[in-house]
Amino acid sequence: MPTELPPGSAVAATPTPTLPSFHPAGSEGTGLGRTFGPNDSGAVSGGGRTGGPSGPFWPPIVGGTVLVGLLAVWLIRPRRPKEPEAVYRSVVRLASRLGYKPHPTQTVYEYTGMLADVAPGARDPLGVVATATVEVAYGRRRLAEDRLTALAAAHDLVRRSLLRLAFRLPRPRRKAGPAGKRRKA
């Protein structure tokens, strides 16, 4: 409620010190150090909490934090390349980071075949990526929309298969006995 001020000259307010008052358990007053005016009922607003932001300030803070988090996830998510050569470069970049770098003399088919030996679950998708890359790079073709969709699906499968390689534990090697035969462990 607005307070009506009496007309007159403005007087500089001097702070008056207030002492916390003692309220026995179960009493109404929980506003420690608060002074009440003549029209004040003595009830404490805001659920009895003093200091800090109250209820109306929390939803925008939480909403803003969630919005910033979603924006960060959207910005760092992997982008789907649309062109076959970009898909192939993406596969090469990821495989190289995992230690499967192409040799300078390897063709696209040889390299994807080597990756297929390492990640057998991605053999067919790697074939789709290799075929599309060679057709566009050397055959100067444009792929139809359905082939680009299949290429994007193949790219996702290849990425998942290669990322699984990063979390695969190395298998213990058996030692070979004399004459190159394996000994039973």
Secondary structure of 31-85 in HEC code, one letter for each residue: CCCCCCCCCCCCCCCCCCCCCCCCHHHHHHHHHHHHHHHHHHHHHHCCCCCCCHH
Residue 168 has what pLDDT? Answer: 73
For the stretch 119-149, pLDDT in tens is 998 999 999 999 999 999 988 888 888 999 8
Reported confidence tier of residue 93, pLDDT bands at 50, 70, 90: very high
**108-123 pLDDT tens trace:** 999 999 999 999 989 9
Examine residue 182 and state whether it is found in any structural domain, yes or no. Answer: no
Residue 65 has pLDDT above 60, yes or no: yes
The string of pLDDT tens digits covering residues 18-27 is 666 655 555 5
Tell me, yes or no, whether 101 lies in a domain: yes
DSSP designation for 7: S
Give the range of the structural domain holding residue 120, as residue numbers without chain letter: 84-166
Q: How many domains does the chain have?
A: 1
104 belongs to a structural domain: yes
**Confidence grade of residue 60 (pLDDT, cut at 50, 70, 90):** confident
pLDDT at 83: 87
On whether residue 36 sits in a domain, the answer given is no
Q: Among 69-83, 106-120, 163-177, which range has the highest average pLDDT?
A: 106-120
pLDDT of 164 reads 86
* Mean local confidence (pLDDT), 76-98: 84
User: Nearest-CA neighbor of 89 among 23, 2, 159, 33?
Assistant: 159
In sequence order, the 6+-apart residues with CB closer than 8 A to the CB of 88 are 108, 129, 130, 133
Q: Say if 145 falls within a structural domain.
A: yes
Arithmetic mean of pLDDT, 153-181: 74
Residue 109 lies in a domain: yes
Residue 128 placed within a domain:
yes
Mean pLDDT value of segment 85-102: 91
In a domain, 103, yes or no: yes
- pLDDT for position 25: 58
Q: What's the angle, vertex CA 30, arms to CA 25 and CA 36, rounded to 5?
A: 130
Helix axes of 108-118 and 145-167: crossing angle, nearest 10 degrees? 50
